[in-house]
Amino acid sequence: MVDDTPRCNFIAPSILRQGDLTIAISTSGKAPALAVRLKERLRREIGPEYERFLELAGELREPLAQHVPDFETRKALWYELVDSEILDVLASGEEEQAREIISRVVGFDFEPA
């Protein structure tokens, strides 16, 4: 009874996936068409570069933890990396430049598998 909101105790969100990135959008049954339109808008903005970034991030987690044991420092480096130009570089297909950005930000040579 997803469209009987007074009797429904779950949501049926509109879901956008790019690899390991999952974004769920719900309007609590009030305007499903809005959720679909928001998903379409996000799909135009969130391309396959996000999937590739998450693949690289997954490979970076352990080496970064080994090289930078302090959590606060590591957290700051993650934010610096996310806020860098890396997504634009990946969107352009410049994989080598993306690895260079990661290496520069984290302070050691990063060679993904």
Q: Categorize the per-residue pLDDT at 13 as very low, low, confident or very high, splitting at 50, 70 and 90.
A: confident
Region of 88 on the Ramachandran plot (φ > 0 left; ψ -120 to 50 alpha; else beta): alpha
Distance separating alpha carbons of residues 96 and 51, to the nearest angstrom: 16
Q: Considering the entire predicted model, what is its pTM?
A: 0.83
For residue range 78-112, what is the model confidence (pLDDT) as tens digits?
A: 999 999 999 999 999 999 999 999 999 999 999 98
Residues 56/102, Cβ–Cβ less than 8 Å: yes
CATH of domain 5-46: 3.30.160
The residue extents of the domains of the chain are 5-46, 49-106
